[in-house]
Amino acid sequence: MIEQNRLRRLNIILFFLSLVMLVVHIEGMVRFNRREIQIHGNDSAGPVQMEIDARADSTSTWLKRSFVMDDGNEVDLTGQTIDGTLRNQSKDTLRDWELRINIAGDCFINQAWNGEVEVHQFTGTDKEVVQRMNLQNYQLEDVNFEYRYDGDLLIPLQQGDYVIYYPSSRFDEMPINGGDDVKIGVIFYYLDQLDLSDYDVQLHFHRSFVQGTTFYIFIALLALWMLSMTVSGVSMLTYRRTMKEMDLRKSGIFSMSDIYDLIYIIHLPTGEMTPVSVDDKMERERPKNRTAKELLTDVITQDVEENYRERMLEFVNTDTLAERLKDRNSVATEFRSLQYGWCSFRFFAMDRADGKPLEDVVFAIQDINEEKKEQEAIIRQIEAVQSINEAKAAFVDNMADDLQRPLQDLLGLNEKILRESRDDAVRGYARSACSVTSQLLTLTDGLVDGLGIESGKIKLAATPYSLRQVMTDTLDTVLPLARERGFTVTLDVAEALPDRLQGDPRVLREILVNLACGSIAPISGGTLQLATYGKALDDRIHLLFSVRVLSDSAHAQAPSGMSMTVVSTLLAGMGSALKTVRSPAGRSEVYFEIEQRVLDAAPIGKLTVGDGQA
Q: Are 542 and 593 in contact (CB under 8 A)?
A: yes
Report the pLDDT averaged over residues 440-444. Answer: 60
CA distances from 155 to 55, 117, 200, 518, 534 (A): 21, 12, 21, 74, 88
Q: Which of the pair, 86 or 376, is modelled with greater confidence?
A: 86
Query: Which element (helix H / strand E) includes 72?
Result: none
pLDDT at 454: 58
- 302-355: per-residue pLDDT in tens? 999 999 999 999 999 999 998 898 888 899 999 999 988 999 899 999 877 777
Q: Are 474 and 439 in contact (CB under 8 A)?
A: no
Q: Are 37 and 205 in contact (CB under 8 A)?
A: yes
pLDDT at 451: 55
Phi, psi of 606 (to 5 degrees): -75, 135
Cross-strand pairs, 534: 543
Q: For residues 485 and 235, give the distance between their C-alpha atoms in angstroms, rounded to a whole number.
A: 34
Query: Which element (helix H / strand E) includes 452?
Result: helix 424-455
Checking if the pLDDT of 446 tops 50, the result is: yes
- 52-101: per-residue pLDDT in tens? 988 888 788 999 888 888 788 889 999 999 999 999 998 889 989 999 99
- 205-242: per-residue pLDDT in tens? 988 888 778 888 888 888 888 888 888 888 778 777 75
pLDDT at 129: 95
Report the pLDDT averaged over residues 571-580. Answer: 87
pLDDT at 189: 95
According to the 3-state scheme, what is the secondary structure of 204-238? EEECCCCCCHHHHHHHHHHHHHHHHHHHHHHHHHH
- 170-197: per-residue pLDDT in tens? 999 989 998 999 999 999 999 988 999 8
pLDDT at 432: 65
pLDDT at 208: 81
Closest CA to 599 of 503, 505, 533: 503
**19: Cβ–Cβ under 8 A, 6 or more apart, which residues?**
none
SS3 270: coil
pLDDT at 397: 59
Strands 526-537 and 487-493: parallel
pLDDT at 439: 57
> What does the chain come to in residues?
614
pLDDT at 256: 35
Q: For residues 47 and 610, give the distance between their C-alpha atoms in angstroms, rounded to a whole number.
A: 40
pLDDT at 251: 41
Q: Are 295 and 316 in contact (CB under 8 A)?
A: no
Closest CA to 515 of 503, 532, 502, 540: 532
DSSP state of 540: E
Band the pLDDT of 486: cuts 50, 70, 90.
confident
Strands 587-603 and 579-583: antiparallel
Q: Which of the pair, 254 or 267, is modelled with greater confidence?
A: 267
pTM to 2 decimals?
0.38
Q: Average per-residue pLDDT in the chain?
A: 82
Q: Are 429 and 30 in contact (CB under 8 A)?
A: no
**350: Cβ–Cβ under 8 A, 6 or more apart, which residues?**
265, 360, 361, 362
Closest CA to 485 of 551, 394, 582: 551
Report the pLDDT averaged over residues 383-409. Answer: 58
Q: Rank 117-131, 538-552, 596-610 by mean pLDDT and report only the highest.
A: 117-131
Tell me what percent of the residues of the chain surpass a pLDDT of 90.
32
Q: Rank 252-256, 326-330, 332-336, 411-415 by mean pLDDT and report only the highest.
A: 332-336
- Domains in the chain: ranges and CATH: 42-197 (2.60.40.290), 259-373 (3.30.450.20), 459-612 (3.30.565.10)
Q: For residues 580 and 589, give the distance between their C-alpha atoms in angstroms, rounded to a whole number.
A: 6
pLDDT at 395: 57
Q: Which of the pair, 270 or 253, is modelled with greater confidence?
A: 270
